[in-house]
Amino acid sequence: MSDYIYTLLGWLLFAAHTSLVVGVTLRVIMKRRPVGVSLAWLALIYAIPILGVATYILFGEVRLGRKRAERAKAMYRPHADWINVLVARFPGQQFVVSDPARPIYELVKARLNMPMLSGNGMTLLQQPGEILAALQADIRAARSSCYLEYYIWYPGGRADAIAFELMDAVRRGVDCRLLLDSVGSADFFRSHWPRRLREAGVKVVEVLPVGAFRLLFERQDLRMHRKLVVIDDDVAYTGSMNLVDPACFKQNAGVGQWVDIMLRIRGPIVPIFWSLFVWDWEMETGERLLEQLEYHPISCLDNQLKLQLLPSGPFMGGDAIQQSLLTSIYQARRRLVLITPYFVPDDPLVAALCSAADRGVEVQLVLPARNDSRMVNYACNAFFDELLSAGVEIHLYGAGLLHTKCVLVDHQFALVGTVNLDKRSLWLNFEMTLLIDDGQAMGELLQLADSYLSDAEPVSWLEWRQRPLRKRIAENLFYLLSPLL
């Protein structure tokens, strides 16, 4: 009798296992994602069925929770109407978008309802001390509001001075709010700072919190990766630098200090930044701040710097950020510079870069020589052969972990912001990018790129092909997993 029971249990477990694998397989197929992504998931599921199925259930689909989905649906129309009314208030917005930037502008306007606005001022900040000092001074001068949103706030050093400035601002009656990613800012939330800031009156929100119970309802690796500051209705910041002091941050990672930039912006585009912050605030808390700003465009600057904000994320515009990136590459005619700390491209991006090099464009890819993620580093290196053989220049920056993220196209326009050139940034995380359509600003950004190139070593295709076999095996292994990274 016992043998019969064991046999029956065995068949029941086999049937349950088979049904689970077949069911998940059908779900992967019906999602109609890029073929490489689907095949990578199927390979994982059939190679290690139990672990593969569990991994897919946890990380295979975009699940941000029912409440966020309902809020996003309810929020879209009020926010879109607010932006349309806002733009109508700005005088003197008759300008011509440059021909190279126009396809991106039209795409973003159609997908995301984000306008391009002229009359802005922009300061490129390249040193951590300079960035933190400017931010501290602007918070100290704030009259009505200080809104900050970061992936990482790491306590210590000059980052603590920002916390003290926020507490001082609250005492002056300034509305101070913080949106910080739960994973990226885990050290911050384990410190004494959240309690101190909240007791002082700063509103601190942990974005996309993680936990074992939440695994059942929300995908835990979808992160808020934006770097966004809006002070009053006058000044905005974005770029690649988190709220950290590089002299204190990840000192044991063996990659040197992180190298970043931030853009300090004034002018008509600032309330668009503000609207993105209040969108994220409402998405996370349910509190609507949209009607609190009555912006009067009296401080528009007397210049023609044209800017357009490109927010991205699971609820925003589908593949708009990826299509904008591909369009930028195909628009290049003379020189294309791509600077990113993490490079794990998909097939369309690799094809676009090779195509640009084939038609005579000088394509320069600038990456850090040392990366804080070994897995990503191997996956990145797996693409070098194809790119180098097509004529793409790859330069490895050695003066720290180059964390700047920008794409520079000829002397025409640029994409600068928080987006890495990997699938996580292009498809999963909440990110932001700024389209800069201005030759004068491009000159400064190209000087920045040239300074990075002067501290970088070019990769020789012949020498690269002589690397050890063990590295090739590791690279090709992680290449197979690159659609899932």
Q: Catalytic residue numbers?
A: 225, 227, 232, 403, 405, 410
Strands (E), 130-202: 145-150, 175-181
Handedness of CA 129, 131, 133, 136 (dihedral sign): negative
Query: Coil, helix or strand for 286?
Result: coil
Amino acid at 250: K
Query: Coil, helix or strand for 67?
Result: helix
Q: How far is CA 453 from CA 111, 189, 369, 397, in A?
A: 35, 37, 12, 7
Helix axes 49-59, 2-30, angle to 10 degrees: 40
Amino acid at 189: F
Q: What's the CA dihedral at 260, 266, 268, 270 to 10 degrees?
A: 50
Q: How far is CA 335 from CA 102, 207, 274, 455, in A?
A: 18, 39, 34, 19
Cα separation, 242 vs 227, in Å, equals: 6
Cα separation, 483 vs 19, in Å, equals: 25
Handedness of CA 38, 40, 41, 42 (dihedral sign): positive
Spatial contact of 93 and 118, defined as CB atoms under 8 Å apart:
yes
